Structure formats: C-alpha cells, structure tokens
A and B are shown apart, each in its own frame.
Chain A
Amino acid sequence: MSWGVFAVVLWLMLGVEVGLRGVLRIGDTGVAPSFVLPLIVFIGLYAPARVTTIAALVAGLLIDLTSPVSLPGGGAAIIPGPNALGMVLAGQLVLGARGLVFLNSPVTLIVLTPLAGMVWQIAVTAAFGARELYDPIGFHAGGQLTQRLFIAAYSAVPALILWWPLRRVGPFFGFDAPHTGRYTMGRR
C-alpha cells in the first residue's frame, strides 16, 4: 500500500471529521459520525493484514493525540492508546470478515463500518472505564458507551458517502493483498 496516499487521505478525513462535527452532530448530544473509520474499514477490506493493522494503529494514535481529556481540578491530558488499540481491534474485525463479504459492494462498507465502530468504541470505553478505577477522570462508562455506540452506528452515513470517492482513489493506494485478486479495484 502507498503510505503517502494513505497519509493524505487520512489527513483529509481527520479534517473533515473534526470540521463537520458541529454540522452533523445530533441535537445537544456529542453524537457525530467518524470519517476516519470508513477509511480504515476500506483499507481493511483490501490491504494485507499487517498493513491494515499499522494503518489502524496510526489512525487511532492520531485520534488519541488530538483528543485531550479533561482532568478533575481543571487540567487536561493526552492519553495515547485507547483509540489506537480500539482501531486495531476494529481492523481485526474487518480482516476476519472480509473473506465472507462482497468486496466491491457498497453495502459491505456501510455494514462493516458500524460493526467495526462498535468494537472500536467498546475498546475505548473499556480502557477509560478501567482507568477510572485508579485514576478518575469523571468517565461514566454506561453513558459513554451508549453515546459511543450511536457514534459507531451514525458512521454508516459517511461510509455511504465515502464509498464512491474511496473506490475512485482506491487504485492509488496500490493494494496488493492476495485475496483481492478475484475482486480487483477496477472490476465490478
């Protein structure tokens, strides 16, 4: 896979995700879709397993590094790990499922994105929930999990929107996983 193309697309997706959050947010809740997640699912569908894992790790780490969490008493901290590990697990779900799905169907991306998102968000909630036991940051796992599962489900919308553009730029990624032989990027 071309890491340069991945870096540019990831950079754009992060920008779109953060920039459009105010527009796409549902009411007063923090529920807004992820644009990075469909990209990782897309890569998981076509790229070799190790490449998918590294891409998911990088994307998750970027999310961690740009997501300071507030601390009791008025500080903030950046915790590298929860989103990175969550994304890696989400990538593993896609790797496991890709042998069972039609790679060239938009439905695949739309269905796998919320499922992978659920794995990602459960992992993040579990990590922060575990931290809460010894290093409290005011994280209420129950409420957060509900909100985060909605975020995962809502991410199906960007998956629907991004399917066509990702297919267009797909050849530039240069995927070379053996399993894509039957379903090459350009063929329907």
Chain B
Amino acid sequence: MSRRGLVTASRMLALSLSVLAVTTFLPAKRLTWTRIPGRIVQRLTSPPADLVKAVGDWLVKAEPAQHPEPLVGQIEQLSALVQRLELENLRLQRENDELRGARRTQSDPMKLITASVIAGTTDPTGRLLRVRAGRRDGIEPGSVATARGQHLLGRIVNLDDAMCDILPITDRNADTIEVITTGEGESAGLRLDLTPTGDGILKGPGRYVTEGLEQTPRTAQVGQQVALADENWRGHEGLIVGEITAVEASPQMPLRQVITVRPIIDTRRVSSVVIRVPGAGS
C-alpha cells in the first residue's frame, strides 16, 4: 500500500490560499517585503505591456513629456515661461513676503530627467504610474513628476534602482496642496487649498481675501488655471495644476468659494514624464 507524501498539490494549494487570506488582511506596514516580488513580476510582465502600450499611446495620442513638434514645443516652453513670469509679477504686486520665498526656491538648481511610463498598475482602478527611471538615473525621494514640462503630475514614491512610482496629485491618498489662480484680471492671485476627491479632480475652499477700498472679496472663475504655490513643494512653485471647472459657495461659509479643479493633462494618458530633482543642478 502506498502512502501519500506530506507535501501534496492539494495541501500546497490550501496552504497558499491560507497565506493569501492572511496577507490580504495584514496591515500595510507589515507588507513592505512584497515590494521585491512586486518589482520582479513587474519587470517580467512589462515587455508585452510596453509594446502594446506603445501602440495604444499612438492610437490615443498620449501626452508626451515634451511636444513632439519642436516649434510647438518651443512655443509651449515660452508660454510656460510667460506664465511663470506672470505669476512672479502677481506675487510681486500682492504678496511680497511670500514671493521672496517663492523666488528663492524657483531659482534653486533643478535636474530634469525624462522617463517613459511603463504602464499603470494591473488593477484597473489604480492611479499610481510606474516609470522607467530610478535611483541610478539620479532620482531622489520627494522628486516631482511633470508632463509637458509645466503640468504637475505628482510626487515620486516607491523608488528603486531602475523604477519608481508616481503618486498623482489626483490620487485619493495624495496630500492637500496649496495653489494660486493665474491669468490676468481681478480674479488672479486667489489662493486655494485643494484636496483630491479620488475621481480625478481636486476640490477645496478658496481663502477669503479682500482688496481695494471697498473690500471686494477676491473670487475665482471657471476656466482659470491654477498653479502650485505650496511650501511643501519647495522649488516646484508655478507648475500648472489644472483648470477650474466649477465654483460654488461654501454651504458653511457663504463668503468663501469651493472650487473644483481638473488637471489639464489626464494622468492616465501620459506616455512619458519629466522628473524634477531639486538641488541636483541642470
């Protein structure tokens, strides 16, 4: 009579299911070890994904890091420069103290690294972007990713030698950011605190600021662009966050506006990014 061994396929399957049932409910801080198999699997599965994504990007005309047309790219860079200068000018006029800090950080040396987006996560509802650039390319924790050079995408998280993940500003777990409305006219220069809602937009209250002898409150308008003006993103102020899509009165404080902003660049249709590493020199 033959006896079955201790290790059988059924037992291994049951053990695997039990282990997975445990890891499913383990707190995230106890799962740091999963990054290594995650990276290995990501590297193994990326070749067909890269190939298909290249075709897909071509089909949907995904956003490149810089415009493929050199002339248009130059115009975009110039318009970004004008925008930055306008922003600086506004700050000079209205917020002298804060401007000094902003200008100091704007002039910080910045290393710009162009990297391709490997693919999004396999989970269809995930928003993290995985990028083919890592520590060996000079990326450091806390670096910031942009698209088309001037549109803010998000911050670098999960950094390893060859790859890193970008946590987009629209991700439900991204931090609240302080932004300022840009453009010409009375409505420019209003500061907002934007929080991601988790569905691709950011929403938050505008600060109550009055101006002139009549103490007219500063307001935001639909269609205005907003730019980053956050102390926690030192060196990256002036990057475009998005466009105002809705302005409504706050139910609690009617004098304040609640503003909805949608990024101009869809984070899930980006094929390559420019990563800004502060203090690394260009």
Contact = CB atoms under 8 A, between A and B. Distances in A.
Given A21-B120, A77-B32, A138-B198, A71 B173 contact: yes
The interface residues of chain B, by DSSP majority, are classed as: helix
What bracket does the count of chain B residues touching chain A fall in?
35 or more
A18 B120 contact: yes
B193 interface: no
Given A18-B119, A19-B56, A23-B60, A134 B21 contact: no
B218 interface: no
Given A15-B48, A30-B125, A79 B23 contact: yes
B124 A70 contact: no
Contacts of B125: 30, 144, 147-148, 151
Interface in B26-40: 26-28, 31-32, 34-35, 37-38
Contact of A63 (B47, B54, B120, B122): B122
B174 interface: yes
Interface residues of A, number: 60
Nearest to A82: B24
A20 B35 CA distance: 25
Contacts of B16: 57
A169 interface: no
Interface of B: 9-10, 13, 16-17, 20-28, 31-32, 34-35, 37-38, 41-42, 44-57, 59-60, 62, 119-128, 155, 157-158, 165, 167, 171-175, 198-200, 266, 268-269
Interface of A: 11-12, 14-23, 25, 28, 30-32, 34, 50, 53-54, 57, 61-63, 65-85, 88, 127, 130-131, 134-135, 137-138, 140, 143-144, 147-148, 151
